[in-house]
Structure 1
Amino acid sequence: MTTRRVISAVIIAAGVSTLAGCGGGSSTSSSSVADSPLDTHGQEVLADADGTGVEVSQRLYSASSAVVIAGEGVEDQLHAAAIATKLGVPMLTRLPGTDAAVDAEVTRLGAQRVITVPGDDKELADTPTPQSQGTSALDTVVALQPSHPQNRQLPPFLATEQTSLPAVATARAAGANVLVSPAPDPRATSETMRTVTAQDTIALGRQWGTSGHYADRASLAKNGELPGGGGLVFPGRRMVALYGHPSGPALGVMGEQGPAEAAQLAQQYAASYQALTPDPVIPAFEIIVTVASGSPGPDGNFSNESDPAEIVPYVDAITQAGGYAVLDLQPGQGNFLEQTKLYADLLARPNVGLALDAEWKLNPGEQPLSRVGSATSAEINEVADWLAQFTRERNLPQKAFVLHQFQVAMFPDRENIRTDHPELAYVLHADGHGSAGQKFETWNVLRQDLDPGFFLAWKNFIDEDMPMFTPEQTFADVAPQPWFVSYQ
């Protein structure tokens, strides 16, 4: 039989490839399992840890008369994906050290024909390599239309740019719908949130964590969305904030006008960034709610705690403007957690986060301005633990948790600050001011050995910077591009 005839036989035989069930591992001809759903394990992750697609093939196919195997190159994988989806068969990729796993899967499938790319694909002249046309390779594979989808109900699959192409191609070949998420969290977009709250899903790739972690985040997706869409603070949006206190202009630009006017100004600032990024840019306030003081005050802690009622109009105004509010603490000799609890009613709102300003954190007996303040990881983790539990218990969407820093000594054991609460988006806010060179020096020092769980934020000082960066400079020259930009 000629190669072309073998391939034609494979196309005919592809219609009897069978989908794997769960537990028992029984197989059924696709022509006789119409409307039979794939057994699911709740919210599930197929880690595909070696990137070969073997795990996805095992989950979806109990047998297949053919299999497509690609080399490492993206073009080869795109061509292999087109062939696999056309034939309705699994796609695998050979990577260094994976030959045994790939060969074992071919044997398990009982494949009578192995189509290698490059190589045998040259005989399939009617299956050209799909063109990305400006989209990513992942999006190109997701867009492929299976010619022989299995007559079986499959749950939705979620993927990110870190997902291997064979994993996605195999899911598409079986007829599964694959939803691309910008982050490995089901709260990333409105669509992913709706999807995981409506039914069980399968996430492709180890970047999603364990099935338990994925299921936990899926359960948090029911807690509502944030301004700009989705349930994650970052990624999914960027924020441009005015910093200050309601008492007046001395503490920042936000207080130079009333709440409504400040919200309107924040909208104008945010709008100046929108053309520079495809992400929604929303206005924000960073409101100093406890202000470091030169005198001890009635409670002796060198910090003036604002009445929450004084803050409410500003939170209301930025909420009505479609924005976000961050409450900033300057505790003096006070305690971060005790001050946080003073504003529990405001933090119970879905669009209100928290910032800890270690510059103004003093040890007992220290006087203001005697040194730049600092905070230990234990103090930070204590607040994070409380805020995460508070957020979960009240069924709130993720909250911004911002740490201000401009010197290494402000967090002497920063490496011990945990970033493992899915209820919180951890933000490291670089507060350096001065010339461009000075600001970049601070930025680069603070980024060294930074936990990858942090998102980065940048501050533009209206009076102290020489000169202050424009929006274009802030987003084009600062790398990586900051998620949160504040103006003081």
Structure 2
Amino acid sequence: MRSRRVPVRGAVAALAGLVLVASCSSGADGGDAEPTSASAGPQQPVLAAPQAGVVLVADADPAAAAVSASRALFTSSPVVVVAPAADPLPEDAVDAAEQLHVPLLLAGGDAGALTAELDRLGAQQVVLADGAPDTGLGDRDAVPLTDELPGVTAPEPLEGVVALSSGGPETAAAAVTARAAGAAVADTAGQTDPRASAAAVDALAGTRPSTVLALGAAFTGAAGLDWKTATAATGEQLPGGGQLLFPEHFLVAMYGSTEGPALGVLGEQGLDASIARAQQFAAPYAGLLPDRTVVPTFEIIVTVASGSAGPDGNYSTELDPEALRPYVEAAGAAGLYVILDLQPGRTDFLTQAKLYQSLLELPYVGLALDPEWRLGPDQVHLRQIGSVGIDEVNAVVTWLADLTRAGALPQKLLVLHQFRLSMITDRGRLDTSRDELALLVHVDGQGSQPDKQGTWDALHQGAPSPVYWGWKNFIDEDSPMLTPEQTVQQAQPLPELVTYQ
């Protein structure tokens, strides 16, 4: 190793955590970087063309992660910044790597790995931060990081590359190298599902990347990163923001039919008045639950249980999805979530769900299955309480999850109405593996509060996991109906959806 001293450089920018940064060929002050040459002339790093798709950089060791990021993003670099493996990283080292647009590597770990990466990069000069040992540098010109930096011509920044950093200390140097290469970097604050991180959604939507670097051991084993990053890259958000429903959101719904008041409060007034009333139902919960985003919601009965067989013989009247569209789209435009409720009679839930695919392709529309109105071949409504087998429910889970993934849609709600265990047979086999969906059991008991609480507790016993929960307040049938304050206090564990009927 050859070593020489260089005068002290001016102030450096502090690293204030890994946040979304769209890097370009500029210095810390936003202008073009103009490092002073300490060698024969300007030198230029060569950036790699990272492979398309999701590239996992899951090294638990910070020095190893720094090497992995360098290998993914740089083909060569005549100058490299080397810093000690400290937490936090030295600010001047971070600043130098980003201004020079060169990799930041860490010393103090595997000296052989550091040497090998410097060899691969063809590094002729190492800018050595204070405190970094000089082992592993080989016979290279070591320039102490002081004032005057080597002359480096910045490469054209990478396009179409986003780095998602889990935010752990093992990702810090790798994230700096990504920014130095021109990638957009987002700190996901430990979230491994990019749909759950506003920073990730912003970075992915703003870049529409062909390559995503997942930086951090936390991403090891994270399922579905490919389709989740594709979904986040759409930038499409749910009412209230984000792409995942829970636990961020708390839904407060009005239930009923657009055809009139007989089936619930939703049909007791016109569309504009219904939107305003849904907002009024939701408003008290915003003050009671300051850590949640309260979202007013419509639950619209789109297939209505019928006392007669009808032309198709299924004892269910299916509303025209295109006739419903103006109602649904107006609700979505007003910031409401919309749930389409199925009362299928003698047909099956999947057959009816497919009738409403065009509405379910909207990002703010979910689905509800109401087994009370699912009849057997010889049954008719109101003579017995209906039921559904779990295989039929799981067929809907598969279809709706596939639809959500194919459309790169935000997470979609699937509600299962239930007030008796017998309404969903073999419920323990519910397919909860598809996190394109948020599955919610909606407890529909009515009457006295002790009876409702008993039903609530009973349905929680042995429930599949993970599922979310809904509580229903019957305006006329409950004795008494709970206030919003009482609902939050007494419906425990706290549900994610409260419905008014």
- TM class by shorter chain equals 0.5 to 0.7
Match of 1:227 in 2: 239
Matches within 5 A, 1:76-155: 81-82=87-88, 108-109=110-111
Show the counterpart of 1:467: 480
Q: Is the 8 A contact 1:85 1:172 kept in 2?
A: no
Q: Which residue of 2 aligns with 1:179?
A: 187
Superposed counterparts of 1:210-221, under 5 Å: 210=221, 213-221=224-232
- 1:416 equivalent to 2:418? Answer no
Could you tell me the TM-score, scaled by structure 2's length?
A: 0.65
Which of 456, 463, 471 is matched with 1:458 structurally? 471
Deviation string 1:149-201 (CA, Å, 9 cap, x unpaired) is: xx9989755466xx7x4445665787875523585322235532231342344
Give the structure 2 partner of residue 93 of structure 1.
none
- The counterpart of 1:193, out of the listed 185, 188, 201, is 201
Q: Match of 1:92?
A: none
Compute the displacement of 1:218 (Å).
Answer: 0.8
Q: Which amino acid aligns with 1:180?
A: T
Q: CA deviation at 1:45?
A: 4.1
In structure 2, give the amino acid aligned to 1:468. Answer: M
The DSSP-based 3-state class of the residue aligned with 2:300 is strand
1:391-421, CA deviations, whole angstroms, 9 ceiling, x for partnerless residues? 4444544322222122222222223222333
Instruction: Evaluate the alpha carbon distance shift between residue 172 and residue 452 of structure 1 in structure 2; reply closer, same or farther with a 3 A threshold.
Output: farther
Residue aligned with 1:466, SS: coil
Letter in 2 for 1:218: T
Answer yes or no: is the 8 Å Cα contact 2:371–2:386 preserved in 1: yes
Partner Cα separation in structure 2 for residue 480 and residue 352 of structure 1: 25
| Superposed counterparts of 1:385-396, under 5 Å | 385-396=398-409
Alignment match of 1:399 (pick from 412, 418, 423): 412
Confirm whether residue 259 of structure 1 aligns to residue 267 of structure 2. no
Report the counterpart of residue 120 of structure 1 in structure 2.
Answer: none
Contact 2:266 2:298 (C-alpha < 8 Å) held by counterparts: yes
Indicate the residue corresponding to 2:460 in structure 1. Answer: 447
| Residue number among 344, 350, 360 corresponding to 2:357 in the alignment | 344
Q: 1:431: which partner in 2?
A: 444
The 1:65–1:397 alpha-carbon spacing in structure 2 relative to 1, beyond 3 Å, is closer
- Structure 1 contact 45–214 (Cα < 8 Å) conserved: no
Do 1:225 and 1:231's aligned partners in 2 also have CA atoms closer than 8 Å? yes
Q: Is the partner of 1:298 in helix, strand or coil? A: coil
Q: Secondary structure at the match of 2:368?
A: strand
Amino acid at match of 1:268: Q
Aligned pair partner of 1:326 in 334, 339, 352: 339
| 1:355 and 2:368 correspond | yes
1:182 to 1:369, Cα distance in 2 relative to 1, 3 A: farther
Segment of structure 1 superposing worse, 403-412 or 177-186: 177-186
CA distance in 2, matches of 1:438, 1:457: 16
Query: What is the alpha-carbon root mean square deviation over aligned residues?
Result: 3.9
Whole-angstrom CA distance in 2 between matches of 1:262 and 1:380:
30
Which moved further from structure 2: 369-378 or 336-345?
A: 369-378
Return the alpha-carbon distance in structure 1 between the equivalents of residues 163 and 259 of structure 2. Answer: 51
Query: Do the aligned partners of 1:402 and 1:429 also contact (CA within 8 Å) in 2?
Result: yes
Deviations 1:31-53 (A, max 9, x none): 999866587554244557xx787
Determine helix, strand or coil for the equivalent of 1:229. coil
SS in 1 for 2:196: coil
Distance in 2 of aligned mates of 1:436 and 1:88: 64
CA distance in 2, matches of 1:484, 1:212: 27
Residue 300 to residue 274, structure 1, CA distance change in 2 (3 Å):
same
Instruction: Specify the code of the residue in structure 2 equivalent to 1:269.
Output: F
SS at match of 2:482: coil
**Cα displacement (A) at 1:310:** 4.6
1:460 & 1:183 partners in 2: Cα distance? 34
Distance in 2, matches of 1:207 and 1:431, equals 39
1:376 aligns with 2:389: yes
Corresponding letter in the other structure for 2:500: Y
Alignment CA distance shift 1:208-1:380 (3 Å)? farther
Counterpart CA distance in 1 for 2:348 and 2:202 is: 39
Distance, in Å, in 2 between the alignment partners of 1:470 and 1:85 is: 55
Deviations 1:342-365 (A, max 9, x none): 223322333222111112112211
Structure 2 Cα separation of the partners of residues 238 and 34 of structure 1: 52
Task: Give the Cα separation in 2 of the matches to 1:267 and 1:193.
Answer: 27
Query: 1:213 deviation in Å?
Result: 1.5
Structure 1, gaps ≥5 residues long:
1-30, 69-80, 90-104, 113-146
What is the identity percentage for the equivalent residue pairs of Structure 1 and Structure 2? 41
Aligned residues: 389
Distance 2:43 2:418 in 1: 60
